[in-house]
Amino acid sequence: MLRALPLASTTVTDPFWAQWQEKMATQGIPHQWRMCEQTGRLENLLRCARGESGGSVGYRFNDSDIYKLLEASSYAVTVGKGAHLKSAIDVAIEATASAQMPDGYVNSHVQLTYPQLRWRSLNAMHEMYCIGHLIEAGVAHHEATRSTALLDVCTKAADHVMATFGPDTRFGYPGHEEIELALVRLSSATRNRKYADYARWLIESRGARPSPYEAELEDAEVVAATPGVRPLFVKDGKYDGAYAQDDLPLREQTRAVGHAVRAMYYYCGALDACGHDQRTTSALEVIWDNLVSKQTYVTGGIGSSGKNEGFTTEYDLPNLDAYAETCAGIGLVFWAWRMFIWSGEFRYVDVLERALYNTVLSGVSLDCTKYFYDNPLESDGQHERKEWFSCACCPPNIARLVMSVGLYAIAEDSGTVSIALPLAGTYQTNVAKLTIESEWPWSGDFSVRVTDLSGLQTLRLRVPDWAGEVTIDGVSATPKDGAVEVTSDWREGEAVRVSLPMRAEWSVANSKVHSCAGRAALSRGPVVYCLEQHDLGALPHRFEADMQGIVGTHTGNDPRNKVALEVEGSLDPEVTKGLYVRNPAAEPGLASARFVPYFSWANRGPNAMQVWVRI
């Protein structure tokens, strides 16, 4: 199995991502810390620390926003962009440590508002979920600083969970998965196998009958404290559980169901904890194949329905009311990377890349201070990013991914180094130091220079599904399973020059995707494009593209928003008088439309937008 590099072994200088990281570290993360203070999230923990009681402010999972922001800030420290965040980090750590109860329990919502419901509502209270994010923050902070201040807190919390639930104590597992993958990270950080073993127990317990949630959903006090939750789990008067992937044991599941973010974290934890079990990995492969072939948007978005924040039926991929939650796209990146590390197959990185450069980055404005929760592929103009949400899981989630993006570039196995995403920067592996020069995602040309040689045998290069062909040092190479291997008697400073064709291309959807009938979507390399009213000067639904009419590109100054595409087509005449007009005299006129990267839409104010345009 491949090994991912530690974040500290990566230095991303990539013009595209360096700008995102700079904006996130200097504007986005400080803005989010202010929001956590202004909305009472930090105060909830401080009140627990002071021994107060009474109603907490906000949702029952608000502690997790603090923890994800701690994780993002720790990554900023690791990559050398977080010195100014030290005070915010220290305050949040002290608040969390002081709020933690003597036995290790910590959850400000329960401690302040529902102390009598502690561990009585696994399906809804998000206690394990929040502790999972606390653990991830603790591990990230320890890796960044070598301090154990937060690691000790999260270890104590993990030990408390393990003392409360287990094969020899009480049977139970989290309603919202997350702690499973976090425990495996903790196991690695502490070199204590018990946490990974416990994560496996949680994974393998899920889907049991009777479910631990069944009794909770009949508890009147619990139901009253969590309104709206019971209908998500109970169908036609019977317990169902699909909403939380609790309908079947994982080994019996064949497709992604329920809440999309929960599902992604579940699959991540399952691969981390049970990747050695063939029945588990076989099930994950089946679920993956169904997801990417029948339930994923062209932008890499998943979870089409806002009703359950998740999956519905195969090919149900509406554009105008697509949910495609930012957190779900982030979760897909996490899962795709794990599938790649486990299998070595670059096809998983193709999906990771599509989600990362489109749905994930759509979730944040170019100045990193405003956010989308959902990411539709069409808008009538009402959709705009907000500076915060009452349920603010997405902003700190995207912050932690942006600051740790270097993790997804390189992996290694013995003498072989695999380049998944050729992000410009330096990467220290066990066998060599790699320096990559590139202008990804705008150019498919990049070079890899190797120094500090210590056993490098092979460079394994991904050939993306959108490229299909590759030239290495001026010679055409034939990829196999999305990869080419370069083997050499490596010399100090030797460079490999790679060229991948990056063409503008149209895609059409499966005929079962009704919302895309008669339409096509434009992409170039990993970037999906869209048509905005700002550029067309008219509502996008009036434009019909000529699929042979891509006439050129426009280069901008922002390295994150560098290439736009000019497309020829026609524009339907505008009808303004009356609701319907019989036998209109006017004919469609020739028009040229400027398409921009989907992730950049709505940065100039609300306006109508389409990814899938008429052809």
Residue range 400-409, pLDDT digits in tens = 999 999 999 9
pLDDT-based confidence at 549, cuts 50/70/90?
confident
> pLDDT category, 468, cuts 50, 70, 90?
confident
What gap in Å lies between CA 497 and CA 516, rounded to an integer? Answer: 39
**How big is the chain, counted in residues?**
615
Element housing 140 (H / E): helix 127-145
User: Is the pLDDT reported for residue 555 higher than 90?
Assistant: no
Residue with tokens 């045998």: 457
* Whole-number Cα distances in Å, 342 to 2, 336, 376, 401, 423: 7, 10, 32, 20, 21
Query: What pLDDT shows up at residue 557?
Result: 84
Which amino acid belongs to residue 129?
Answer: Y
SS3 readout for 96-133: HHHHCCCCCCCCHHHHHHCHHHCCCCCCCCCHHHHHHH
Long-range contacts of 267-270 (CB under 8 A, 24+ apart): 267/335, 267/338, 268/180, 268/181, 268/331, 268/334, 268/335, 268/338, 269/177, 269/178, 269/179, 269/180, 269/181, 269/183, 269/184, 269/199, 269/202, 269/203, 270/180, 270/203
Helix (H, G, I), strand (E, B) or coil at 192: coil
| Structure-derived torsion over alpha carbons of residues 180, 181, 185, 187, reported in degrees to the nearest 10 | 30
Tens digit of pLDDT for each residue in 276-311?
A: 999 999 999 999 999 999 999 999 999 999 999 999
Beta strands in 203-307, from DSSP E residues, in sequence order: 234-235, 238-239
Q: What percent of the chain has pLDDT over 90?
A: 95
Cβ-proximal residues to 30 (8 Å cutoff; 6+ apart), any chain: 84, 85, 88
| Each residue's pLDDT tens digit, 407-452 | 999 999 999 999 999 999 999 999 999 999 999 999 999 999 999 9
For the stretch 83-104, pLDDT in tens is: 999 999 999 999 999 999 999 9
Residue 215 has which token pair?
């009794």
Pairing of strands 458-462, 416-419: parallel
Q: Looking at residue 465, what DSSP letter applies? A: T
What band does 585 get if pLDDT is binned at 50, 70 and 90?
Answer: confident
As a dihedral over the C-alpha atoms of residue 64, residue 67, residue 73, residue 75, rounded to 10 degrees, the angle is: -100
Residue range 541-557: mean pLDDT, rounded: 90
pLDDT at 112: 98
pLDDT band, residue 558 (cuts 50/70/90): confident
Instruction: State the chain's mean pLDDT as an integer.
Output: 97
| Range 71-78 average pLDDT | 98
pLDDT per position as a tens digit, 326-370: 999 999 999 999 999 999 999 999 999 999 999 999 999 999 999
Rounded to whole angstroms, how far apart are CA atoms 365 and 386?
9
H or E element in which residue 496 lies: strand 495-499
- Side-chain half-sphere exposure of 43, counting CA atoms within 13 A: 12
Measured between alpha carbons, how far is 548 from 568 in angstroms, rounded to an integer?
8
- Cβ atoms of 588 and 572 within 8 Å: the answer is yes
Average the pLDDT over 485-492 and give the result. Answer: 95
Which amino acid type is present at position 98?
Answer: S
pLDDT at 476: 95
Residue 118 has pLDDT above 90, yes or no: yes
Per-residue pLDDT, 531:
98
pLDDT band at 587 (very low <50, low <70, confident <90, very high): confident
For the chain, helix (H) and strand (E) counts, in that order, are: 20, 23
